[in-house]
Amino acid sequence: MKPILTKMNNRSDFKILDQKVHNRPLIYFDNAATTQKPQIVIDAITNYYETINSNIHRGVHSLSQLATDQFEAARRTVQTFINAQHHHEVIFTRGTTESINLIASSFGKAFLQSGDEVLISEMEHHANIVPWQMICEEKGAKLKVIPFDFNGVLQVELLEQMITSKTKIVAITHISNVLGTINPIKKIIEVAHSKGVPVMIDGAQAISHEKVDVQALDCDFYCFSGHKMYAPMGIGVMYGKEEWLNKMPPYQGGGEMISQVTFEKTTYNELPFKFEAGTPSVGDVLGLMKAIEYINHIGIEQIAQYEHELLDYAMAQLHEIPDIQFYGLSPQKVAVISFNLGKIHPYDVGVILDHQGIAVRTGHHCAQPIMQKYQIPGTVRASFALYNTKEEIDAFIKALLQAKKMLE
């Protein structure tokens, strides 16, 4: 049996957590929205701009070559982290949202026709709904939705009958940002592939919580953001199998994505540059590389174990609060807890918690269809990361009880 982890002993790496909010120590439980950044990530970005800032790939001078080497080293770091077969299958984007938009647009232009179907789930973030709606409207295709049950468990048993000869792609979240549900994506991929259908995974909420191996999963596309895994905002990754990326047209034009340009015709660059138009955010890419190194140093399995202990510790106490309603009680879930206190509006709970120095997220969490299913305006969401503690959870429970007493 693995030992119980009381703390990760790395809180000092995150200087932002030393501050006070409303004269109370900051308790940051909004990690599903964005994680805080360790000092080595901040230092990596600063060091880039202080020492090797330059545009990459096209310069013969030393700074450009140094920056290019670091940028491509970061690509290989990502490749290793997700176990991609080829480094050129790693495409840098601004985040998960842009990654999904890239796939929906480019894949849709190449493979979607009138009457075709795209299959998503009922628990998707808007970023994995709207891009598919847009391309379906453009192409005359149909968007189909796999439902989840009241406990937040995806009804995977419906998948076989929902995939038809018209289904061109399945696009589904690895982990729900509202429910915390870990979907059985390997099974989903196997079923889809048995019917000749590719699968795109939204990994924004998974990448910092469990080991992702794209070859073992055999997914065709996998998308994630840096800022949810201790890296900067504005940088993300779109992994795609080489065979698919070679068949898809570029998403944007200009800059690095060209091979030859004339007024009569433009030919496109090879992978990965074909999908990386314009000047990339090199400093943020290097920050992502450092964040991956940071996660690797601690160990993703160690992080997952510790966060699950925090989840169990919090849920045991939350269950004792009268009139609390939980949204997302799947046996397979990460440390994301969505709840409401009776008929109290989640916004009011969030404001009172903020005055106690506690940061949670309130609202629909960019997942309005989930709120519509439960017929609620929103939830309070607490989400944990490797720097959170059981002592913080104790303070959170105390503040919740105070909020409930004040607002009832």
Mark whether 69 and 170 lie in a shared domain: yes
Annotated catalytic, 223? Answer: no
For strand 199-202 and strand 221-225, is the pairing parallel, antiparallel, or unpaired?
parallel
Name the domain boundary from 264, 296, 328. Answer: 296
- CA atoms of 256 and 254, how far apart (whole Å): 6
Mark whether 246 and 317 lie in a shared domain: no
Q: What is the pLDDT of residue 255?
A: 84
Number of domains in the chain: 2
Mark whether 125 and 151 lie in a shared domain: yes
Mark whether 216 and 349 lie in a shared domain: no
pTM: 0.96
Query: Is pLDDT at 1 greater than 70 in this prediction?
Result: no
Mark whether 168 and 237 lie in a shared domain: yes
Return the CATH number at 95.
3.40.640.10
CB 224 within 8 A of CB 75: no
Q: What is the pLDDT of residue 8?
A: 67
Q: What is the pLDDT of residue 283?
A: 98
Name the domain boundary from 254, 273, 296. Answer: 296
Query: Is pLDDT at 89 greater than 60 in this prediction?
Result: yes
Q: What is the pLDDT of residue 4?
A: 47
Q: What is the pLDDT of residue 3?
A: 45
Mark whether 237 and 166 lie in a shared domain: yes
Name the domain boundary from 296, 312, 336. Answer: 296
The DSSP output letter for 158 is G
Task: Give 360-374 pLDDT, tens digit per residue.
Answer: 999 999 999 999 999
Mark whether 393 and 290 lie in a shared domain: no
Does the residue 2 lie in any domain? no
Q: What is the pLDDT of residue 214?
A: 98
Query: Is pLDDT at 94 greater than 70 in this prediction?
Result: yes
Return the CATH number at 359.
3.90.1150.10
Does the residue 50 lie in any domain? yes
Tokens coding 17: 């957590």
Does the residue 36 lie in any domain? no
Does the residue 191 lie in any domain? yes
Does the residue 37 lie in any domain? no
Does the residue 144 lie in any domain? yes
Task: Give 6-54 pLDDT, tens digit per residue.
Answer: 566 789 999 999 999 999 999 999 999 999 999 999 999 999 999 999 9
Q: Which of 136, 219, 223, 366 is catalytic?
A: 366
Does the residue 6 lie in any domain? no
Task: Give 133-159 pLDDT, tens digit per residue.
Answer: 999 999 999 999 999 999 999 999 999
Give the position of tokens 């059985």.
Answer: 184
Does the residue 3 lie in any domain? no
Q: What is the pLDDT of residue 360?
A: 98
Tokens coding 343: 């008929």
Residue 408: pLDDT band (50, 70, 90) is: confident
Mark whether 348 and 279 lie in a shared domain: no
Mark whether 151 and 261 lie in a shared domain: yes
Domain that holds residue 353: 11-30+299-407
The predicted model gives 297-301 an average pLDDT of 96
Residue 25 burial by CB count (10 A; 0-12/13-18/19+): exposed, middle or buried? middle
Percent of the chain's residues with pLDDT above 70: 98
Mark whether 46 and 117 lie in a shared domain: yes
Mark whether 152 and 276 lie in a shared domain: yes
Give bridge partners of residue 237 from the DSSP assignment.
92, 224
Query: Is pLDDT at 107 greater than 80 in this prediction?
Result: yes
Mark whether 96 and 221 lie in a shared domain: yes
